[in-house]
Amino acid sequence: MKRANTWAAYLQVSPLALVFLLFLVVPIATIIVVSFFDYNTTQIIPAFLLQNYEELVLSPVTWQTYGQTIRFAIITWALTLGIGFTLAYFLAFHVRSATWQTVLFLVCTIPFWTSNVIRMISWIPFLGRNGLANMTLIQLGLIREPLEFLLFSDFAVVLTYVHLYTLFMVVPIFNSMIRIDRSLLEAARDAGATGWQTLWTVIVPLCKPGIAIGSIFIVTIVMGDFVTVRMMSGGQSASVSLMMMNAMSLLQYPAAAANAVVLLLLVLLTVAAMMRLVDIRKEL
């Protein structure tokens, strides 16, 4: 019976395992192998060279681009954490009925179901030279000339990240908060803690797993992003993925692959550091 169960489990898990093997493990292995290949203008040549990595590491552009991507990741992380935590706190501790919690939650989730590219486009009539933001500010007499930095700038990129991805922070943090035993808060109050003290010494530590999961989502999304940077920076900023795509469009596949391996390592190390804070399987 025991053995039959094990076989059944293997059979049941096999479709999932097969997909991951064929479309995750093998492709990543391919990237690693190709990153050592040689290439010329027309084809890639099997070889074992470190040249692709050398060129990558020695180019100042690489360092600038990685620096910019990491900067975007950190700024976005800080903003989404602040905003996401506040929203989750409101939903978990100030909205009292479960029905209202669900309704407000749905309100936050609905935009998530529309295409990201469309949601980016929708900032254009808002932020453009003649957009709503500039028009309003001019009519209010706050500015004379339209602000140029609103659209196609780093500001627009970060704004779009926050717009698109804050939800990824809200959900796990809310999930942590909702499990906090309310009697702990009462105990804190009885012991004489002020509201802030309760927040910092009771709620925030108990939310760590949620914060970690949300942070993993945000950081990995921003580090791998290219659509937002390309559409919202108007070509003024770069990201690691964009750099990789440029190499791809020049048919320099091994160079792109080497860059991909470095990016992958960076992402995995970041996530590994965050995972030390949390056991994901316990959180479900």
Partner 1 sequence: MNGRRGPAFWLLAAFFALFVLFLYGPTLTILVLSFQGPQGGLTFPMNGVSLHWFGNLFEKQMVGDFAGSLQRSMVLGLAAMLVTVFASFSAGLAFRSRFHGSAFIFYLAIASLIVPSILISLGIGLLFRVLGWDTAWYSSAFGAHLTWTLPFGLLIMFAVFNRFDRRYEEAARDLGATSWQTIRFVVIPILLPSLIGVGLFGFTLSYDEFARSLYTAGTFNTLPLEIYGMTTNVTTPVLYALGTVTTGVSFAVIALALVSFAWVRRRRLRHGSDAGKAA
Q: Which residues ranging from 212 to 271 are in contact with partner 1 (CB under 8 A)?
A: 216, 220-221, 223-227, 231, 241, 244-245, 248, 253, 256-257, 260, 263-264, 267-268, 271
Nearer to partner 1, 96 or 144 (CB): 96
Of 56, 73, 87, 243, the residue at the interface with partner 1 (CB under 8 A) is 87
Q: Which stretch binds partner 1 (CB under 8 A): 11-19, 47-55, 56-64, 202-210?
A: 11-19
Nearer to partner 1, 67 or 111 (CB): 111
Nearer to partner 1, 147 or 245 (CB): 245
Rule CB under 8 A: say whether 99 interacts with partner 1. no
| Torsion, Cα of 65, 28, 222, 204 (10° steps) | -130
Of 53, 105, 126, 155, the residue at the interface with partner 1 (CB under 8 A) is 126
Rule CB under 8 A: say whether 58 interacts with partner 1. no
Residue by residue, DSSP assigns 177-224 as HHTS-HHHHHHHHHTT--HHHHIIIIIHHHTHHHHHHHHHHHHHHHHT
Nearer to partner 1, 4 or 142 (CB): 4
CA neighbours within 13 Å on the CB side: how many for 81? 18
Nearer to partner 1, 51 or 217 (CB): 217
Distance CA 168, CA 215 (A): 8
Of 27, 47, 74, 197, the residue at the interface with partner 1 (CB under 8 A) is 27
Of 60, 107, 176, 277, the residue at the interface with partner 1 (CB under 8 A) is 107
Rule CB under 8 A: say whether 197 interacts with partner 1. no
Rule CB under 8 A: say whether 201 interacts with partner 1. no
CB atoms within 10 A of CB 211: 22
Least Å distance, CB 234 to partner 1, is 12
Q: Which residues contact 156 (CB under 8 A, 6 or more apart)?
A: 123, 127, 150, 232, 233
Q: Which of residues 150-189 bind partner 1 (CB under 8 A)?
A: 163, 166, 185
**Contact (CB, 8 A) for 195 and 165:** no
**Contact (CB, 8 A) for 242 and 66:** no
Rule CB under 8 A: say whether 47 interacts with partner 1. no
Q: What are phi and psi of 45, to 5 degrees?
A: -120, 120
DSSP helix, strand, coil percent of the chain (3-state; round to 5): 75, 0, 25
H or E stretch covering 44 = strand 44-45
Rule CB under 8 A: say whether 280 interacts with partner 1. yes
Residue for token pair 């470190």: 50
Distance CA 150, CA 79 (A): 18
Of 47, 132, 269, 273, the residue at the interface with partner 1 (CB under 8 A) is 132
Give the total of residues touching partner 1 (CB under 8 A). 84
Least Å distance, CB 85 to partner 1, is 11
Rule CB under 8 A: say whether 53 interacts with partner 1. no
Rule CB under 8 A: say whether 119 interacts with partner 1. yes
Q: How deeply is 20 buried, as exposed, middle or buried, from its count of CB atoms within 10 A (0-12, 13-18, 19+)?
A: exposed
